[in-house]
Amino acid sequence: MPTAFSEINFIDIDQEHMLGRVHSFEKCSALDGPGLRVVVFLQGCQFRCLYCHNRDSWDLHAGSLYSVQEVIEQVLPFAGFLQSSNGGVTVSGGEALLQWEFLTLLFKQLKKLGFNTCLDTNGYVKDQLWGANLDELLGYTDLVLLDLKQMNRQRHEALVGVSNDRTRNFARYLADIGHPVWIRHVLVPGYTDDIEDLRSLAQFLQPMTNVEKIELLPYHRLGKPKWEEMGLEYPLGDLEPPSRAAIDEIIAMFKSDYGLELVSA
């Protein structure tokens, strides 16, 4: 990997001109893909998750404008430890697919420089992205981290404001083409922990040979202060995180009834 920005030869002039809206950077994460990673959080999201911990990322017009090369400049100082840990760069959000053109150019450049790339997404793929555009993006994406929030369509709408149809279609497409994916499911008491919904999730994932890991992420209240800082009421109030016993029971059910391994914090 290059260690100086002067060593980079950009692929085409469009990369220098296209700008993306960036919410923030996390320079050392061990939770967003393999190894240690720099995480780029893009601005804007079409979901309205009741438990969102980046409430300030929803606004499509907020954030800071960056060119691809400016994002690369944020990553390069960490190239050594990313490489030594078999890590790389994860792009998250907000929802990264809202800026798919910028994302494709960024991943194209990162792959040219030898970085492992991960896309952390809610999978809400709009019509204009399907086809050659999506395939090009996935061609530069080593791993997809796909958040399956709720398998029941009505409960999904109540939780995030839109249906899960597009997310389910995207998950099936990744399975059809054999693209590596880690599945993430946030366990929110009273919203995503119904046993029949969890069985639907297991049945949905069971035949997918491209799923490398299933992460069961316990709900937390770490995002509550951001809502309050923005003068907003946190929708879930004082909802308690799930108990360790409840988490272990779900892990055991996935293993015994469906042969699926879950990992959880």
Give per-residue pLDDT as tens, 50-101: 999 999 999 999 999 999 999 999 999 999 989 899 999 999 999 999 999 9
Residue 135 reports pLDDT greater than 80 = yes
In the structure, what pLDDT confidence band is assigned to residue 142 with cuts at 50, 70 and 90? very high
Lowest average pLDDT, out of 131-145, 187-201, 205-219, 227-241, goes to 227-241
Of residues 32, 68, 13, 30, the one with CA closest to residue 142 = 32
- The average pLDDT across 129-140 equals 97
Residue 248 reports pLDDT greater than 80 = yes
Tokens 């999978």, residue? 123
In the structure, what pLDDT confidence band is assigned to residue 16 with cuts at 50, 70 and 90? low
What pLDDT does residue 18 have? 85
Distance, CA of 212 to CA of 118 (rounded, Å):
13
254: left (phi over 0), alpha (psi -120 to 50) or beta: alpha
- The average pLDDT across 189-204 equals 97
Of residues 34, 44, 174, the one with CA closest to residue 117 = 34
Q: In this structure, what are the phi and psi dihedrals at residue 194, rounded to the nearest 5 degrees?
A: -65, 135
In the structure, what pLDDT confidence band is assigned to residue 15 with cuts at 50, 70 and 90? low
What pLDDT does residue 7 have? 41
What pLDDT does residue 265 have? 72
What pLDDT does residue 12 have? 44
3-class state of residue 119 by DSSP: strand
Lowest average pLDDT, out of 15-24, 47-56, 147-156, goes to 15-24
Provide CB contacts within 8 A for 51, sequence distance 6+: 186, 188, 191, 219, 223, 235, 236
Of residues 63, 111, 152, the one with CA closest to residue 119 = 111
Q: What is the overall mean pLDDT for the chain?
A: 92
- Which pTM value belongs to this model? 0.92
Greater confidence, 144 or 265?
Answer: 144
What pLDDT does residue 175 have? 98
What pLDDT does residue 1 have? 40
